[in-house]
Structure 1
């Protein structure tokens, strides 16, 4: 039987809501959730959208049982959120089922541009549509910037290899 983090294409699809719950309860490490999410193909944004909808439905159910709406700690300051966002890694899924994932030091943010959630150990918070759209744009920007830096670094490495090869080849004396 395969583990939830098994990237094998023949592995059964994880129970996403169960995996989120297990992470929030401390039963599995965060990588048990982020690993399978990041292994989804670029055309599998619909899976992320379904997860977001399921999490929002669960949040509404829990809020109904408590008699209150989903919310975040009122103590969360702007500086804390800024630090969290600056430390994020991002993953995006392409259209037509666009979605984005931000993995911060203490939270996970999932968005499809229309709706989104902030996941933490203690619970989750639904995001307004405007924030969800901005977070999807942020995810896409981070990924594009990372790809650009990777391409630039790859170009530098290629040039270094060419330079080192030409230098070392010029130092070889011909046999006479």
Structure 2
């Protein structure tokens, strides 16, 4: 379990000074119930494509702060619950030079860089084994590629509709003689 209180008074280097709370501080605020998960997600999604190192840093900060999971902790979700959570995820990917991925589901937020990863919930976090982190990075990339393909198909369909609509309306215009 992530121990948020241990870091709430420190600011990380995830963001330059003067730009607000760090990613770690936003995560801690969310888990302590004084912040909003959407604010953390918004900050993460506003990072530019070349800022994956900040996501990697957040993963390391969370993993360095993890305490052993208490024996009375909630049991892990069933495979069906986990599958449902993953199917509902939205994704964001930061490409090279510092690859990282984000999956946001109804109840979890997953951060991965392909080598390390963590599952973050409102009440704690768990470290992912390297093989799972790699698989989740591929899932992030697959979701993005699928969305781009759907967007391209939709764009093509809309362009074809526009061409058809223009050619129909243009054919109604009488030529000048």
TM-score by length of 1: 0.84
Unaligned runs of 5+ in 2: 1-17
C-alpha distance 46-150 of structure 1, shift in aligned 2 (>3 A): same
Q: Deviations over 1:131-162 (max 9, x none)?
A: 00000010001001111110111011111101
| Greater mean alpha carbon deviation, residues 69-78 or residues 121-130 | 69-78
User: Does residue 54 of structure 1 match 2:55?
Assistant: no
CA distance in 2 between counterparts of 1:161 and 1:52 reads: 46
CA-atom RMSD in angstroms: 2.0
- Give the drift of 1:75: 4.4
For 1:95-174, list aligned pairs within 5 A.
Answer: 95-174=96-175
- Give the drift of 1:119: 0.6
Give secondary structure in 2 for the equivalent of 1:109.
strand
Unaligned runs of 5+ in 1: 1-10
The count of corresponding residues between Structure 1 and Structure 2 is 160
Q: 1:33 — aligned with what?
A: 40
C-alpha distance 38-70 of structure 1, shift in aligned 2 (>3 A): farther
TM-score by length of 2: 0.84
- Give the drift of 1:69: 4.5
Give secondary structure in 2 for the equivalent of 1:163.
helix
CA distance in 2 between counterparts of 1:143 and 1:25 reads: 31
- Give the drift of 1:12: 1.5
- Give the drift of 1:175: 5.5
